Amino acid sequence: MSITKVKEYLKEFGKDSDVREFPVSSATVELAAQAVGVEPARIAKTLSFHGDDTTGCILIVTAGDTKIDNAKFKKQFGFKAKMLGAEEVSMLTGHQIGGVCPFANPDHVTTYLDVSMERFTTVFPAAGSSNSAIELTCEELFQLSSAKAWIDVCKLKDI
């Protein structure tokens, strides 16, 4: 189970006991916001994409009220954004849809954090299951996710 792997990973940083598990699903931004009790924008959603020919998978963690800006993505990475298919997500990330997170991922996964989260003191990424989250500062998220860089590849969703 992925949450067990994530807790083991977070234990190295003394953060395993900070993982919150809910009796309800937190698999979407809206459900996670309800479970945690915060505005949806503070949910740090993890989006999974195909990498280029040399990388297996790219994870982009972004604020819950954003979506990928295709032009920014192409400028950042040099190729068009292509999300992983449902069947590829667990195979490439080790996490099931709804629980994909930036922790305890295989070596072929490269994680980036979108600057859209920097407006918050803390954010809530999933912790390896469709009913979990952990509250972290952006600095903690960067460290614990082993993120490669802060990038700007998102825009606010049309409301």
Kindly report, residue by residue over 64-80, the tens digit of the pLDDT: 999 999 999 999 999 99
Distance from CA of residue 131 to its chain's centroid? 14
Averaged pLDDT for residues 39-45? 98
Question: In the predicted model, what is the mean pLDDT of residues 132-136?
Answer: 98
Give the model's pLDDT for residue 158: 74
Alpha-helical (H) ranges within the chain are 2-11, 29-36, 70-77, 86-93, 138-145
The overall average pLDDT reported for the chain is 94
| Residue 55 pLDDT greater than 70, yes or no | no
Q: Which residues contact 128 (CB under 8 A, 6 or more apart)?
A: 1, 2, 3, 4, 5, 6, 7, 95, 99, 101, 103, 104
Q: Is residue 142 helix, strand or coil?
A: helix
Judged against a pLDDT cut of 90, whether residue 52 lies above it is answered with no
The string of pLDDT tens digits covering residues 143-157 is 999 999 999 999 998
Domains and CATH numbers, the chain: 2-152 (3.90.960.10)
Residue 94: Cβ within 10 Å count = 20
pLDDT > 90 in the chain, percent = 90
